[in-house]
Amino acid sequence: MDANDTAKKRIVALLHGPDRAGIVARVSGWIYARGGNILHADQHRDKQQHIFFQRIEWIPAGDENEEMRLFRELAEGELGMEATIRLSSYRPKIVLMVSQFEHCFYDILMRCGMGELQCDIACVISNHEKLRSISETFGIKYHYLPISKDTKSQVEAEEKRIIKECGAELVVMARYMQILSADFIDTVGCPVINIHHSFLPAFAGAKPYHQAYERGVKIIGATAHYATADLDEGPIIAQDVVRITHRDSVDDLIRKGRELERIVLASAVRCHLETRILAYRNKTVVFD
């Protein structure tokens, strides 16, 4: 992609649905016939489920809004696909949920501030006051909502109100150390990405680094996934691992793990913001 292409408005589309012959040819032919210039195109076929997936990015020749409308008619009407279509320049609002660990939280703030993540942080929600000063340094509103077993439903209702009121299209749990209820996940109105400090499905739940140390494993990992009603079992977006030895203490595992958590969470958020993820059947297709 040259400098001129970068400056032009681009459309990104994600498609998935029943596989059949001719989809790639029909989509690319449609764009070509309208004078568009395809910059990236990738596809995948799930042979077991017979599902087709595609991500395609192009520069339209005419009005981009009209192009998106007509392409949706093609994708959903003629091809029978589910479609997500947006401009590559689109900047959704996100909400960060945090507790007391600052490493993932600060990393996301820095990446957004440097323009590495194409989004606007609408606000921060936390069950502790500890990270307020960091949030306010970046000029981001901080909502302190302490939570207990007795107040969980009321606090979650307030969290949902804040998220919907600010128009957020993504919630990022940057080490928010609370289990979100099924009702919250089902009614919040946008995807929720969580970072779990282990290589799921191993060591789910609390204190995974301590579990890994006791088990004597030789690698530890971090997993970013979409949150679902089932704890730590949502569709996995990104994972990474680091090697450890018998010389590493629990503190060493935690230190090394936090490095992974930052990288993995940022990778997952970036892929979501760039419209690179299709989730299905508790799995994901992540286009590079």
232 is catalytic: yes
Q: Which two tokens stand for residue 274?
A: 């760039």
Say which of 42, 63, 232, 240 is annotated catalytic.
Answer: 232
Tell me which amino acid residue 258 is. R
Residue 123 φ then ψ, to 5°: -170, 175
Q: Backbone dihedral region of 109: left (phi > 0), alpha (psi from -120 to 50 degrees) or beta?
A: alpha
Output the furthest CA–CA distance in the chain (Å, rounded): 63
Residue 48 φ then ψ, to 5°: -75, -40
Tell me which amino acid residue 175 is. R
- Residue spans of beta strands (DSSP E) within the chain: 11-18, 37-46, 51-59, 82-87, 93-98, 120-126, 142-144, 170-173, 192-196, 219-226, 236-243, 277-280, 283-286
Q: How far is CA 181 from CA 157, 203, 227, 284, in A?
A: 11, 21, 10, 22
Question: Could you give the count of Cα atoms lying within 13 Å of 267 in the half-sphere of its Cβ?
Answer: 19
DSSP character at residue 3: H
User: CB 28: neighbour CB atoms within 10 A?
Assistant: 16
Measure the CA–CA gap between 174 and 97, rounded to whole angstroms: 6
Annotated catalytic residues are 232
